[in-house]
Amino acid sequence: MARSARIGRVEILNIEDYAPPPFNSWDFFPDVPPDAWEPHRAHHALDGDGKFRVSFGVFALISDDFVVLVDTGIGPSVPEMFGGGEGRLIRRLREFGIQPGQITAVLNTHLHPDHVGWNMTDGAPTFSNARYYFSARDYEHWTSEPVLEHAPHIPAQAQPLEDLGLLELTADGDDIVPEIRALATPGHTPGHQSFLIESDGEKGVITGDVIHSRAQFTNPEWSAGADSDKPQGVGTRVALIERIVSENLTVACSHLVVDSNIGHVVEIENRRYWQPL
Ligand SMILES: [Zn+2]
């Protein structure tokens, strides 16, 4: 159970915006037969009732030089389909002693509504001193017709940032700050990006939605129903897990259940498993 981890001079702080009600595994992973989950139950991939849980997670990356947020959660008012409660990112940040005005950059892994929900509040940027980083490919996708027509969160949470001159568009390999670099990891969305952290010889990665379940570290061929290009997503997941193992990266996953969403991937008898810190 870890609330935070350290990679060199960068602290990763784990903040839950909201926890939606648990899902049936087959609703979230429609291509995975319910039986296939059985071996994973011993590894806590499902809860005690056999349900699949996710968190709408945000990570703060903190050093002497910056306070960066990776994703902004589902936002202040949670849609009915996810429980209809209230996102608590800002309250939680304040509990950790972080004021919204201290955030220097907001990095969105992709432009789904559960990752950009607090980008704007009441028509103004929530993080008034931050620049916002979207992948160019994802922004192009989400602002194209007819995608935009069915994505009301884009004019609310993404496009105003361009109009205000606060938007930075990223490509694979771009440095955000010297310790944080964008890594193209497409498949969940066309321009999905993860973020590599390297500081004082230590390394980590924020995976975004390359991973939704810890079982996917063992079965990377499992795709979430929300993945827009499943074969591409599988390829991305396989490659990222290889890199995680070969470089022994510390890993932070936005949707794993809070306090078990930062960890390592370990190999036991040629199989890989999630090992939370
Ligand atoms: Zn997501």
| pLDDT at residue 216 greater than cutoff 90 | yes
What residues contact residue 178 under an 8 Å CB cut-off, 6+ apart?
Answer: none
At residue 5, the pLDDT reads 96
Closest alpha carbon to 233 in 195, 272, 198, 194 = 194
Distance 269 CA to ligand 1 centre (A): 31
Q: Per residue in 179-212, pLDDT tens?
A: 999 999 999 999 999 999 999 999 999 999 999 9
For domain 4-276, give the CATH number. Answer: 3.60.15.10
Distance 210 CA to ligand 1 centre (A): 9
The stretches of 48-107 forming alpha helices (DSSP H) are 89-95
Average pLDDT, rounded, for the chain = 97
Distance 206 CA to ligand 1 centre (A): 13
At residue 130, the pLDDT reads 98
Query: Tokens 């389909």 correspond to what residue?
Result: 81
Closest alpha carbon to 193 in 14, 59, 67, 71 = 71
At residue 40, the pLDDT reads 94
| Residue 155 and residue 162 in contact, taking contact as beta carbons nearer than 8 Å | no
Q: Per residue in 227-242, pLDDT tens?
A: 999 999 999 999 999 9
Q: Per residue in 121-156, pLDDT tens?
A: 999 999 999 999 999 999 999 999 999 999 999 999
Residues bordering ligand 1, an ion, CB closer than 5 Å: 114, 209
Q: Per residue in 258-268, pLDDT tens?
A: 989 999 999 99
At residue 1, the pLDDT reads 52
At residue 41, the pLDDT reads 92
Distance 211 CA to ligand 1 centre (A): 9
